[in-house]
A = this chain, B = another copy of it.
Amino acid sequence: MQVAAFLFDGITALDVVGPYEVLQRLPGAEVRFVARNAGPVRTDNGFLALHADHGFADVTSADVLVVPGGFGTRALEGDVEVLDWIRAIDTTTTWTTSVCTGALLLAAAGLLDGLEATTHWLQLERLREHGVTPTRRRVVEQGKYVTAAGVSSGIDMALTLAARVAGPEVAQAIQLSIEYDPQPPFDAGSPDKAPPAVVELIHAAVAAGAK
């Protein structure tokens, strides 16, 4: 099973590494990291470079496409070369997936027209700009299109997908391999659950232009 994971400058690393860490454990999986051109891409903060072994020209099909998010997606929503590659791969996939603002690239490519989808909670309403209906579910399955909410949700999305691809027992074995028994010290991972002062902190940071 060929998995193609899209990389770009300004990516949020966990968006892509979460699903990768799950999907690479599927029997027979091969994960290829693909950017416009082969070579390193830098995360949003510049601290980490992930290496794309492949450029768009090298990868023309995949069974699963993973489109992660990050601040870098904004510049790509109108990038014809990127959207054309996503559309071309999508014609070959069994599953086309996104994490976080990766959904805005799928939406900009026209792949989610008339469907429900999710993305990072701060960007959710932007899906409407592309004719897509936002929903607050953490993992949204619409036929072969599976979108996940912000950053860490890609792990949940990939486990859901693993169960679809290889059955619940394999998905559970993968969950156990990565010891995904979440015990966050707080219950503040969604705007419905976080204290209002914490939600306000994020809005203030966004308003101040912080990443």
Q: Which residues of A contact B (CB under 8 A)?
A: 12-14, 17-18, 20-21, 24, 30-33, 40, 45, 47-51, 53, 100, 120-121, 138-139, 149-153, 155-156, 159-160, 163, 168-173, 175-191, 193-195, 197-199, 201-202, 205
Contacts and interface: CB of A to CB of B under 8 A. Distances in A.
Contacts of A198: 169, 172-173, 176
Contact of A50 (B50, B177, B205): B50
Given A21-B14, A21-B151, A175-B189, A183 B169 contact: no
Contacts of A179: 100, 120-121, 149-153, 189-190
B24 A47 contact: yes
Contacts of A170: 201
B182 A195 contact: no
A182 B189 contact: yes
Contacts of A184: 155-156, 159, 175, 180, 182
A48 B45 contact: no
Given A156-B185, A169-B198, A150 B178 contact: yes
Contact of A20 (B13, B181, B199): B13
